[in-house]
Structure 1
Amino acid sequence: MADEDGASPRELILEACRRDNTSLLEETIANLASAASKAGKNPTEYVAETLNKAFDGVGNGCLHLAASYGSYDALDILLDQEGVEIDEIDRMEKDTPLHKAVRYVNSLDKSDWASGHPVVDILLDAGCDPRIRNKAKLKPLELVDPRNTELRSILQKGEFAMTAGGDVVNEDDDGPTGSASDSD
């Protein structure tokens, strides 16, 4: 995709995050890991360092951009990379990616809000801290459109879980039921 005179890995990562282009993102990450191996560097650390230093002109990192554009699949790939800073602060508003995800959902038509909630969910599931305040001293929950009660609930549960230190039982109906006390 990119030749020697083409876009830098940072530019490719940022563009992939804006457009939710998973093939470009995966290819760029693979190329970074390969280059690190050839240079005798730790590929995992090199990829994480590159991702953590990939900022656009106004100080948004790759997670900020993916969250701002609702790029769920790009977020999924980025959050799987060991060592990626999940609570990075942007330069302008001092927002975390979670703040950006809430702003993204707010930008959608009310009828489309539910389609944006997974972007917030994936960040919370990855451990993003919903208690962090931005430049305006607002937590992500305080940015939610007051009419979006479902998103408010998602963030309240995330904040409670973070405050409780992860000692909260997740009551999703996705898994098997029954006693966990049976041992082999």
Structure 2
Amino acid sequence: MSDDEGASNNELLLAACREDNLGLLDEVLSSEPDSFSINHTDGLGNSALHYAAKYASTDCLEILLYFDGIDINIKNRLEWETPLHKAVAYEDPETALTMTRLLVEAGASTTALNKQKQTPADKAPSDTHGEVKEYLETVRIGSNYDARDIPADDDDDSDGVASDED
């Protein structure tokens, strides 16, 4: 590519998510599908999701999570961190919680380990991000249970309330 061609769609994708620029993101996502890769990474292995989470580009994050083929659990090369690792560590606890919920609801792994063997919950600052840690703990505990492990109501009156009688 020559210097007069400008940035590639992959570079524009990362820039849009770094700057929370919905217009630019829409332009890239509306272009020819083979002109960009939704999972493109920069030299350090950061994807558009990494940038959206790191810079709290929540609008871009929401749009990316609905894009077919997006790798929600992609790890970067330097720290081996997923976008969820970046989201939980964002400086504003409310924004961190919003991004964390979006990513987890889209299927982000809460148990992925980075290079330091830290889960996303380990990356959330303890002194300010208590709600983020609590949410991740609730998700972790919930994922250890299967609906088949919960006994069904076996009484005969079918009112949906468990019977205390044997």
The TM-score normalised by the length of structure 1 is 0.72
Q: For residues 1-184 of structure 1, what are the structure 2 equivalents within 5 Å?
A: 5-33=5-33, 36=34, 50-52=37-39, 54-104=40-90, 108=91, 112-147=92-127, 148-164=129-145, 167=147
State how far apart, in whole Å, the 2-side matches of 1:138 and 1:22 are: 32
In structure 2, how many angstroms separate the alpha carbons of the residues matched to 1:103 and 1:32? 34
How far apart, in 2, do the equivalents of 1:126 and 1:88 lie?
A: 13
1:94/1:135 contact within 8 Å kept = yes
Change (3 A) 1:58 1:151: same
Letter in 1 for 2:31: N
Quote how far apart the aligned CAs of 1:129 are.
0.6
Distance 1:32 1:161 in 2: 40
User: What SS class does the counterpart of residue 32 from structure 2 fall into?
Assistant: helix
Of the two, which has the highest radius of gyration? 2
Count residues with an aligned counterpart. 145
Percent of pairs identical after alignment? 36
Compute the displacement of 1:145 (Å). 1.3
- The answer (yes or no) to whether the contact 1:129–1:162 under 8 Å persists in 2 is no
1:144–1:151 Cα contact (<8 Å) kept: yes
User: Is the contact between residue 129 and residue 159 of structure 1 (CA under 8 Å) also seen in structure 2?
Assistant: no
In structure 1, the gaps of 5 or more residues are 37-45, 168-184
Runs of 4+ in 1 over 4 A off after TM superposition: none
AA in 2 matched with 1:164: Y
Gaps of 5+ in 2: 148-166
Tell me the distance in 1 between the aligned counterparts of 2:10 and 2:131: 35
Distance change >3 Å, CA 68–CA 18, structure 1 → 2: same
* Superposition RMSD in Å: 2.1
Cα drift, residue 61 of structure 1: 1.0
Q: For residues 75-117 of structure 1, what are the alpha-carbon distances to aligned partners after superposition, in whole Å with 9 as ceiling and x for unaligned? A: 111111011111001000000110011122xxx2xxx422331
How far the C-alpha of 1:28 sits from its partner, in A, is 0.6
Q: Relative to structure 1, is the Cα distance of residues 127 and 164 closer, same or farther in structure 2, using a 3 angstrom cutoff?
A: farther
Tell me if structure 1 keeps the 8 A contact 2:13–2:25.
yes
Q: Residue 51 of structure 1 aligns to a residue in which SS? A: coil
Q: Distance in 2 between matches of 1:164 and 1:127?
A: 16
